A and B are shown apart, each in its own frame.
Chain A
Amino acid sequence: GDSVVQTEGQVLPSEGDSLIVNCSYETTQYPSLFWYVQYPGEGPQLHLKAMKANDKGRNKGFEAMYRKETTSFHLEKDSVQESDSAVYFCALSGSNDMRFGAGTRLTVKP
């Protein structure tokens, strides 16, 4: 079945650092890929999306490229801010349901 793997459970950059949060996926379909962000006590919110291969999702300085050849959708940002601190989930949408990674907690140190 479909699956999504996020290799880092937590990342702790300092404000102004660059960021890469890894996301790899497995599927036999032609999915859409998403990053969701979750703040404490709230449900996940759609952060960015890429609907097909070679699309790049962008939002608030974050980017993620849908790379079919490496089955990856890494989340990147040139310079993180303290307000970016949250849990980020990578997700894959197939024909019937959505699969989520385990999440990466981003804590940006001031």
Chain B
Amino acid sequence: DGGITQSPKYLFRKEGQNVTLSCEQNLNHDAMYWYRQDPGQGLRLIYYSQIVNDFQKGDIAEGYSVSREKKESFPLTVTSAQKNPTAFYLCASSILGQAYSNQPQHFGDGTRLSIL
């Protein structure tokens, strides 16, 4: 079955440490997204990518970095510059193209990041 796989499910970070969250999709979707979810605040967009080797900042990109070297992979690095990284991180993907405008996004099951 096609889908989005996020790993690990739980991750702990020490102060001053960078951590990388994995996101892999086998849906053959062009676009991929990273969201941060905090209680009572819905989903906020961190970064998105519509094509390999290209990505755009979302609303809360500071303290995060991404890469898109392969169509199926979109890892997120939470850097030490992100002072409040404790949150639930969600990866999503969607199909693009004129014939598929405004299509829904498909989500992984998330990674919960906590500070030690």
Which A positions have Cβ atoms within 8 angstroms of B? 9, 31-32, 34, 36, 41-46, 49, 51, 89, 91, 93-98, 100-103
Kindly report which residue of chain B lies nearest to residue A1, judged by CB atoms: B59
If A89-B43, A100-B43 touch, whether A34 touches B104 (CB-CB below 8 Å) is yes
B105 within 8 Å of A (CB atoms): yes
Is chain B's interface secondary structure helix, strand, loop, or mixed overall? loop
Contact residues in B for A97 (Cβ distance below 8 Å)? 33, 45, 48, 58
B106 x A46 contact (CB < 8 A): yes
A103 x B107 contact (CB < 8 A): no
Shortest C-beta distance, B74 to chain A (Å), equals 14
If A43-B108, A43-B110, A44-B107 touch, whether A32 touches B102 (CB-CB below 8 Å) is yes
B90 within 8 Å of A (CB atoms): yes
In the complex, per-residue mask of B23-65: 1 if CB is within 8 Å of any chain A CB, else 0: 0000000000100000011110100100000000010000000
B84 within 8 Å of A (CB atoms): no
